[in-house]
Amino acid sequence: KNEVEQSPQNLTAQEGEFITINCSYSVGISALHWLQQHPGGGIVSLFMLSSGKKKHGRLIATINIQEKHSSLHITASHPRDSAVYICAVAHSGGGTDGLTFGKGTHLIIQP
């Protein structure tokens, strides 16, 4: 069974700061997902990665398959970025057998 570890568990930062959230996993995967969960519980998929790096707006996600590690970066952070960020891994077919989730990083951006 894959163990997915995220760090930090909680992060409070000031508006404008550069944010990094880390994710490591124990078993080889077919893809890694970064998800955002808002207080109401709804989840939005931010990125799906199988190699390299992806960028969307102020969000950047990287993955190192050999080291079994991924990072999510937020540049010029804003209070609206406050949410729980979850790393999840897929073992086959990009997630066709479901995902294994980390416990999430609770991010608060203060104005």
Which residues of this protein are in contact with other proteins, per CB under 8 A? 4, 31, 33, 35, 40-45, 48, 86, 88, 90, 93-104
Nearest distance, CB of residue 111 and other proteins, angstroms: 27
Nearest distance, CB of residue 36 and other proteins, angstroms: 10
Nearest distance, CB of residue 20 and other proteins, angstroms: 20
SS3 sequence, 28-86?
CCCEEEEEEECCCCCEEEEEEECCEEEEECCEEEEEECCCCEEEEEECCCCHHHCEEEE
When the beta carbons of 77 and 85 are compared against other proteins, the nearer one is: 85
Nearest distance, CB of residue 66 and other proteins, angstroms: 22
Give the CA dihedral 66, 26, 3, 54, nearest 10 degrees: 0
Dist. CA 12–CA 35, nearest whole Å: 18
When the beta carbons of 20 and 37 are compared against other proteins, the nearer one is: 37
When the beta carbons of 10 and 75 are compared against other proteins, the nearer one is: 10
